[in-house]
Amino acid sequence: MWPPPGPGVHVVGAPQRNRPGWDGLVHRVIAVISPGGAVLSVPPESLAPVRALGTEIADLARGVPAAVGRPRAVLGRGVFRWSEQPADLPDGGEWVPRDDPRVPGWLRPFNGDVLMAWAEDGSYAAGVGRKQHDRSGHELSVGTDEHLRGRGLARRLVAQAARRVLADGAVPTYLHAFDNEASAHVADAAGFPDRGWQVMELFEPPRGQGG
């Protein structure tokens, strides 16, 4: 669904928006915004009501949740990055199955092997998971034990994982909140430049509180 085909907001109906994603959940709305245009992907049955909202991002952000039948959901926004040439950093970890007993809980939902770095005692130090959205885009997510931060583990793991994704024929992507400076620094150091692109996704309220 990216890059956008031209200026303005292009709203498209995608059957994928009604199917479970990498985590088994349905992601009803996803948008990628570049300096030259944007693509907003919604379920096919929501195409007409979403297009009726107009072409301004602010109007879409306010109206899309109700237009796709989730009025209490929120259309969140963050920084979208990708890498074509990861930083030339030494490998920082090893690939292990996600059901390896040493893998922490936050990495187990990822749909593929995870990249792990170990502390001196063999315990978890840092890890990267791959959200394999489809054959083309694999989003990387990294986390480091709070006692081992500041040692460059995250950037080495992200660069190593990005090389693996590229070798597999996909594009490594990296998302983070606008105010997450630590994550932004990791992305910069690992070879994921900020090109001014953004991502938007519909976040559902906790179960029992939805619209």
Give the pLDDT of residue 65.
94
Reported as a single tens digit per residue, the pLDDT across 106-144 is 999 999 899 999 999 999 999 999 999 888 999 999 999
Give the pLDDT of residue 176.
97
What's the average model confidence in pLDDT over 63-77?
A: 93
Give the pLDDT of residue 210.
44
**pLDDT at position 206 over 90:** no
Query: What percent of the chain has a predicted confidence (pLDDT) above 90?
Result: 79
Reported as a single tens digit per residue, the pLDDT across 180-204 is 999 999 999 999 999 999 999 998 7
What's the average model confidence in pLDDT over 54-71?
A: 91
**Does domain 94-192 fall into CATH 3.40.630.30?**
yes
Please check whether residue 186 is in contact with residue 90, taking contact to mean a CB–CB distance below 8 angstroms: no
Mean pLDDT of the chain: 91
Residues of the chain with CATH 3.40.630.30: 94-192
Signed CA dihedral, 166, 31, 180, 185: sign only? positive
Q: Please enumerate, as own/partner, the contacts of 6-10 that have beta carbons within 8 Å and a separation of 24 or more.
A: 6/36, 6/37, 7/36, 7/37, 8/37, 8/38, 8/55, 9/37, 9/38, 9/39, 9/40, 9/55, 9/56, 9/57, 9/60, 10/37, 10/38, 10/39, 10/40
**pLDDT at position 208 over 60:** no
What's the average model confidence in pLDDT over 80-107?
A: 95
